[in-house]
A = this chain, B = another copy of it.
Amino acid sequence: MTGLQPVDFTKVSMEGAFWRERLDTVLNATIPSQHVRLVEYGILDSLKLPQPPPPLRIPIRNHGMTTQVFWDSDIGKWIEAASYALRHRRDATIEAQIDAIVADLEKAQAPDGYLNCWYLGREPDKRWTNLRDRHELYCAGHMLEGAIAYYQATGRRKLLDIMLRYIDHIATVLGPGPGQKHGYCGHQEIELALVKLYRLLGERKHLDLAVYFIDERGRQPPHYFDVEAVARGDDPKKYWFKSHEYSQSHKPVREQDKAVGHAVRAMYMYTAMADLAAELGDAALKRACQVLWEDVTSKRMYVTGGLGPSASNEGFTEDYDLENDTAYAETCASVALIFWAQRMVNLDCDGKYADVMELALFNGALAGLSRDGTHYFYENRLESNGDDTRWQWHTCPCCTMNVSRLVASVGGYFYSTDEDTIAVHLYGGSTARLDAGGRPVTIRQTADYPWSGKVRIVVDPDAPATFTLKLRIPGWARGETMRLNGEPVDTAAKTSGYVALRRAWKAGDTVEIDLPMPAERIYAHPDVRADVGRVAIRRGPLVYCAEQPDNGKLPVKRLRLPRGALLEPAERGDLFGGIVTVVADATAMETDDWDGALYRQTPAKTGDAKLTAIPYYLWCNRGPGQMLVWIPEG
């Protein structure tokens, strides 16, 4: 395997206030409340086979499909998130809840190992007949990730063994061999789950199955999904989403060079492609990942790390199509972007990947969770007229457990190592216990990140050791300084966004980094129509927004930020336990003298106004109101 290895979150204790608060909320409120929702919405009842299954609850759109077909995945993701919680502290209630689920799954599993509760309970004759639409392997993948996490948290193997039998069964049905179905899932997920399994148990067959799914995808003619449709009596031309771009199966993955289709599917697939590029040393896969990375991040990503402007396909449309008020930007897609970014930075330690990982983490993904931890955004707007509010649940609750499993394991995105290297990708108060080539090292970060860019890193090898410490200088930083044991370090020597310090490290060695954090303007590429004439505000890793509660009675959407106005950070201990806002002397368009006119020859008058911006991830926690990320200049 090439590249760096991520340091597992279990080795990283989150101590800084920012992540401590989010982590505590997720552990204490979010994860338990998610189990309540799973019960309340009958999702856990769906496992109780072979008794008659509960009635369908929640139809979805017009696809002729109910979200119930996904329920196995929601359960698997909750098990995963809850298992991550157990790594922080054991909890008998949670373990009992998981064990109860496992008991139901054990009973539900068919003798041949098949385990999809929708099909077992409701359409037992229809298994494997609609890989395109029915999320069959997607459910298996999430349940597998849950099983792995639970085993790692508790040593209990039952669910893992259940899933191993299921995976073995899947591998008999689907594959390249004669007599096998040469299919793959319409919603990518199992590929990356199988890599996780391979990395856990080291059994080559699991890696091979992931490779098969990735290699088979998009082969044509004929296209598997079309043949499959005809076989069940459907007209492939009547596919709701029209094109196999939706599931990124329009061509073999190594040939893909544009991010198209459903955003979460894409991100899960690109994540698996990067995993396999690392495991196999597959240069074509790596190259495809790099090309796709450039496409996404240079033409198709919101400034918040959100992905997908379009509700109709929950995904990508065209280059630079990034409308703000209708932004779809599904929370799951930002979470999965973090997964992919992490794989990419481990494949090639380049700060451009970690910059996006940090961006999505502090903005697009975190915005999906309310301050109180029990409400969620599925879609993440970058402009609101006041109608938006987070949901207590969602008929398709995929985003809920994606954000909880992410936050519960957030420490796992901070560090990577190889034989000879410790790489620091993210900053924040933490203590990490890791090693470089078997030589144990404790890394202690003290920082008030993201509010301050001053980071103190104490490097404590158990015994003196020579290795390279790579420290990321964020792409947004200017004028950073670094000292090693008090002596200045030339950060201009950084390569690919990291300063590499190679020395014989000894206990107490201290690196001090100062990343200046002025509040700054961001402009979008001119072809992003939605942002022409507008400016966004950033400070450190945080993207800001102007929200109504901080801006008095004046409708926020009438604000304009003159190009010369100074942006000033302001500490606000009274907000959200203590944050930094950004204030500026702005202008506001006046409407009093329009007298009912809709169009006129003279532009709007403007008056003075104060603009106060808060971090975007905190918006919509004080009731609905107008919000703007991209503020008109002028």
Interface size on A, residues (CB 8 A): 47
A536 closest partner in B (C-beta) = B599
Q: A301 in the interface, Cβ–Cβ < 8 Å?
A: yes
Q: A325 in the interface, Cβ–Cβ < 8 Å?
A: yes
A601:B521 contact, CB within 8 angstroms: yes
A301:B598 contact, CB within 8 angstroms: yes
A589 closest partner in B (C-beta) = B526
Within 8 A of B (CB), among A356-387: 383, 385
Q: A41 in the interface, Cβ–Cβ < 8 Å?
A: no
Q: A634 in the interface, Cβ–Cβ < 8 Å?
A: yes
Q: A557 in the interface, Cβ–Cβ < 8 Å?
A: yes
Interface string of A506-538 (1 = CB under 8 A from B): 000000000000001111111111001111100
Q: A558 in the interface, Cβ–Cβ < 8 Å?
A: yes
A528:B294 contact, CB within 8 angstroms: no
Residues of B within 8 A of A604 (CB): 523, 525-526
Which of the residues B524, B534, B596, B599 comes within 8 Å of A522, measured between beta carbons? Answer: B599
Within 8 A of B (CB), among A596-634: 596-604, 632-634
Residues of B within 8 A of A303 (CB): 599
Number of chain copies forming the complex = 2
Could you tell me the distance in whole angstroms from the C-beta of A542 to the nearest C-beta in chain B? 14
A521 to B338, CA, bound (A): 46
A298:B597 contact, CB within 8 angstroms: yes
A533:B634 contact, CB within 8 angstroms: yes
Q: A51 in the interface, Cβ–Cβ < 8 Å?
A: no
A527:B591 contact, CB within 8 angstroms: yes
Interface string of A315-331 (1 = CB under 8 A from B): 00010000001000000
Q: A297 in the interface, Cβ–Cβ < 8 Å?
A: yes
A601 closest partner in B (C-beta) = B520
Residues of B within 8 A of A325 (CB): 529
For the A-B complex with A299-B598, A525-B598, A563-B603 known, give 6 more contacts whose Cβ atoms are closer than 8 Å: A325-B529, A523-B602, A523-B603, A526-B558, A526-B590, A536-B599
Closest 5 CB pairs of A and B: A526-B589, A533-B533, A523-B603, A298-B596, A526-B604
Which residues from chain A sit less than 8 Å from chain B, CB to CB? 62, 294, 297-299, 301, 303, 318, 325, 383, 385, 520-529, 532-536, 555, 557-558, 560, 563, 589-591, 594, 596-604, 632-634
